[in-house]
Amino acid sequence: MTIDTIPTQITPATPDLSGMQLVYQAPEALADTQTHYCPGCTHGIIHRLIAEVIDELGVRERTIGVAPVGCAVFAYEYFNFDGTEAAHGRAPAMATGIKRVAPDKIVFTYQGDGDIASIGGNEILAACVRGEKITVIFVNNAVYGMTGGQMAPTTPPGMVTTSSPLGRDVELQGYPIHLTEMLAMMPGVAYAARRSMHSVAEIKRAKKSIRKAFEAQLQGLGLGIVEILSACPINWRLDPSNALDFIRHTMLPVYPLGEFKVHEALQKR
Amino acid sequence: MAKELWKGNEALAEAAIRAGAEAYFGYPITPQTELLEYMSRRMPELGRVFLQAESEIGAINMVYGAACAGVRVLSSSSSPGISLMQEGLSYIAASEVPAVLVNIMRGGPGLGNIQPSQGDYFQMVKSSGHGDYHAIVLAPSTLQEAVDLMQITFELAFKYRHIVTLIGDGTLGQMMEPVEMPPFKEWPEERPAWALTGAKDRPPNRISSLYLGAERLEALNLRLQRKLDEIRQNEVRYETMMTDDAEYLIVAFGTVGRIAQSAVRKARAAGLKVGLFRPITLCPYPEQQLEALSRQVKGILVTEMNAGQMLEDVRRISRERVPVQFVGRMGGMIPLPDDMLPALHKLIETVEHPQSSPAAVLA
């Protein structure tokens, strides 16, 4: 068959939508594109929650996102608003630069656990000290995902990774960091919570927390941070369903969920 | 405007403000701290942004963010702080956003000291970070020249969407001199089309230094190299003194270039036909002009406040057609005419009586 013989007009059957009501659609703030995330990874859900919140708050046209180095390095491609990509761990400093020169913009960082809790520890700490009016989405999957599953500061004790082949030994490699609880103690932080992607109920709670973290910025209250426990089936060597169970049984005992800091202006709602 | 007595770091700060700086992010480090201190009171006074960062790493990444927003932003630091900024500088260069950076250099390596030095020639000129790029490097020799050069930094940065650095040794930051301040520069209010200003009535703008495909990253690199070629063609600056009939040439930059003027005058008074070549842009280096002079003279003496860094470029550009010798001081010591003149005599001796002279001269 030559090219010429391929039918050039293909008319798909148009469904009859009369009498139907649109109840669910992709958020405008989410780019209509494929992501590079692995099967069973929950980054995509977190992206969608952020996009839904941005739409609900009506701030898409003045939002600027800052992607990290790590699995979410291409996050700026997946949102339908302005975005950039920081050096490893430096997103809070970059977001500070943007917010300080453009205070009318809604600025958020999207960072993994290695990015924010290890190499970028000082940048997030300083942003909280200053009470920067930015929002931080902190995705904790307990490993360095992009480089192939090495031990992170968030890796639970005993967990086998490619750089802790005998399991994380706290005597040698220290204890998992509870960054969000630490930051919640700081006066510059207006909202701090930890949520998880392991169940529908938790996903709904995560969205509420993301919304509050953005509202903290909109109201000029201070920095809002949401840590989200996220599945990494490929690097955990688990199928997607067992990866959610890993969050339930191994991560939750180390990382309790909940709100650690809620500014009173956010409580009145 | 009449001349006023200014301290170097403060003059640089006021000059940057008059050039149009809208935001400053920095971290204290001697011998440039007065620049940050001046900014901390002057910028808020004018309704502009000042923020003391948690580190030089924080500062340069704040600059990166503000630059992405299309704002005229600068930082300043001194040698060890610049080392910390190298990561951010590389990202800024790759993202092609405009930024201005002042480096008031101090003695190194390591913590070194807070005395003047030109030990960062390699760090600033060869590459201030990983990857293939070179920032534009301006090296004034007086406060007036520093203030005047500061006026073109943002123009160059925005014209080429690139990093513009202005460097001086600690002397330049600490000394006081009469300076005539320029008037405030006028800038258009609108931001560049590429800037992150919110995707209102347009598709999203995305600024990144990530190019996973080898072809795409090579294309970026080729674009950066073409930009560098354009900069080399358009932005070369230099100064010569008594080179028309010169038989011997002193090459020096920054404060040392100024000190070398005294050495040239003394040599001339002694009947020696000596001239001075002072590059004002270290990148792009005035290669054609130096090359032409290297065909005219019998010998070249390079003098720097380091172990001989620009020396390597002078040897390359002159192709060592004639003897190229060096005299320098390090660790905060400043090469003076008393260092330069004996070195000059040794150079002349090497040329006039090659058999009886040592091949190289060390200070």
Residue B112 region by backbone torsions, left for phi larger than 0, else alpha for psi between -120 and 50, else beta: left
CATH number of domain containing B211: 3.40.50.970
Q: How far apart are the C-alpha atoms of B362 and B238, rounded to whole Å?
A: 26
**Residue where a domain terminates, one of B234, B264, B289:** B234
Domain coordinates in residue numbering, chain A: 34-267
Q: What is the pLDDT of residues B63-108, one digit of tens each?
A: 999 999 999 999 999 999 999 999 999 999 999 999 999 999 999 9
The tokens describing B19, both together, are 């050039």
Q: Whole-model pTM?
A: 0.94
Question: Could you tell me which chain A residue has the CA closest to the CA of B25?
Answer: A97
Q: Is there a domain that residue B362 lies in?
A: no
| Domain ranges, residue B273 | 238-356
Work out the average pLDDT over B243-253. Answer: 98
- Does B154 reside within a domain? yes
Report the alpha-carbon distance of residue A241 to residue B193 in Å, rounded.
45
Smallest CA–CA distance, residue A192 to chain B, in Å, is 22
Mean pLDDT value across residues A65-83: 97
- What H or E segment, with its residue span, contains residue B78? none
- pLDDT-derived band at B362 (thresholds 50, 70, 90) equals very low
Written as one letter, the residue type at A109 is T
Evaluate whether residue B293 is within a structural domain. Answer: yes
Q: Are residues B29 and B130 in the same domain?
A: yes
Token output for A134 = 């930015």
From CA B205, how far away is CA A84, in angstroms rounded?
A: 8
Is the Cβ pair B208, A98 closer than 8 Å?
no
What mean pLDDT comes out for the span B307-316?
A: 98
Q: Which two tokens stand for residue B56?
A: 């030089």
Å between A93 CA and nearest CA of chain B: 5
Contact B85, B57 (CB under 8 A): yes
Cβ distance of A62 and B25 shorter than 8 Å = no
Q: Which residue, B206, B234, B262, sits at the end of a domain?
A: B234
Do B155 and B108 lie in one domain? The reply is yes
How confident is the model at residue B355, as a pLDDT?
A: 72
In this structure, the answer to whether residues B219 and B246 fall within a common structural domain is: no
Tens digits of residue pLDDT in A115-132? 999 999 999 999 999 999
In B163-237, where do the E strands start and end? 163-169, 176-179, 206-207
**Cα distance between residue B163 and residue B149, in whole Å:** 14
Residue type, A131: G
B338 has a chain A CB within 8 A of its CB? no
- Residues B208, A93: C-beta atoms closer than 8 Å: no
- Give residue A185's pLDDT: 98
Q: Which residues are CB-neighbours of A251 under 8 A, at least 6 positions away? A: A140, A142, A156, A196, A229
Write down the mean pLDDT value for chain A: 95
Looking at the fold, whether B208 and B267 belong to one and the same domain comes out as no
B278 shares a domain with B162:
no
User: Is A96 in Cβ contact with B51 (below 8 Å)?
Assistant: yes
Pairwise CB contact (< 8 Å): B61 & A86: yes
Sorted by sequence, the CB contacts under 8 Å of residue A66 that are 6+ apart come out as: A83, A84, A85, A86, A91, A94, A95, A98, A107, A108, A109, A110, B65
Is the CB of B209 less than 8 angstroms away from the CB of A85?
yes
Total count of domains within chain B:
2
Mean pLDDT of B126-131: 90
* Percent of chain A clearing pLDDT 90 (strictly above): 90
**Which pLDDT band holds residue B161 (cuts at 50, 70, 90)?**
very high
Contacts of B71 in chain A (CB under 8 A): 101-102
The separation between CA A210 and the C-alpha centre of its own chain, rounded to angstroms, equals 9
Residues B180, B252: one domain? no
The single residue listed with the structure tokens 């258009």 is B188
Band (pLDDT 50/70/90 cuts) for residue A55 is very high
Give CA–CA dist B30/B105, Å, rounded. Answer: 9
Closest CA to B102 of B159, B29, B177, B182: B29
**Residue B333, domain CATH:** 3.40.50.920
B293, B198: one domain:
no
The ipTM assigned to this model is: 0.94
The C-alpha atoms of residue A230 and residue B222 are separated, in whole angstroms, by 39
The answer, yes or no, to whether residue B361 has pLDDT greater than 80, is: no
Report how far residue B154's alpha carbon sits from residue B133's, in angstroms, rounded to the nearest whole number: 19
- CA A140 – CA B299 distance, rounded (Å): 64
Is the Cβ pair B61, A66 closer than 8 Å?
A: no
Flag whether residue B23 sits within 8 Å of chain A, measured between CB atoms.
yes
Residues of chain A with C-beta less than 8 angstroms from the C-beta of B23: 97, 100-101
Digit-coded pLDDT (tens) for A195-208: 999 999 999 999 99
Multiple choice CATH, A34-267, 1.10.3720.10, 3.40.50.970, 3.30.70.260, 3.40.718.10: 3.40.50.970
Q: What angle do CA A122, B119, B330 make, to 5 degrees?
A: 125
CA-CA distance, B297 to A75, in Å (whole number)?
59
Q: Please report residues of B whose CB lies closer than 8 A to that of A116.
A: none
Residues on chain A touching B209 (C-beta within 8 angstroms): 85
